[in-house]
Amino acid sequence: MDTKREALKLQKELIPKLVEFGTEIDEGFRRFRELRLITDDLSFQGALINVEHAFFMVVQSLNILREQLRLLEVASKKKEIE
């Protein structure tokens, strides 16, 4: 099995899915943020801030994953992986 070719194939399949999922996550974040901005209940605002923070952490993780997938492609071109 050519692991390099398989890894690159999988990488090419995942990148568009990550971008699409990131867009959906961003939309969810935006909607929760809007709710936080219009609510008057301070304790509920705190709960919504926690949800926003969780969205932020997911997006950061997706960005890290995308970057590592790009580095995988670079490594394969440099023959650093087999």
pLDDT score of 79: 67
Tens digits of residue pLDDT in 22-51 = 999 999 999 999 999 999 999 999 999 999
Average model confidence (pLDDT) for the chain? 91
Confidence of residue 75 (pLDDT cuts 50, 70, 90): confident
- Residue with more model confidence, 76 or 17: 17
DSSP state letters, the chain: --HHHHHHHHHHHHHHHHHHHHHHHHHHHHHHHHHHHH---HHHHHHHHHHHHHHHHHHHHHHHHHHHHHHHHHHHHTT---
Per-residue pLDDT band for 80 (boundaries 50, 70, 90) equals low
Question: Which pTM was predicted?
Answer: 0.78
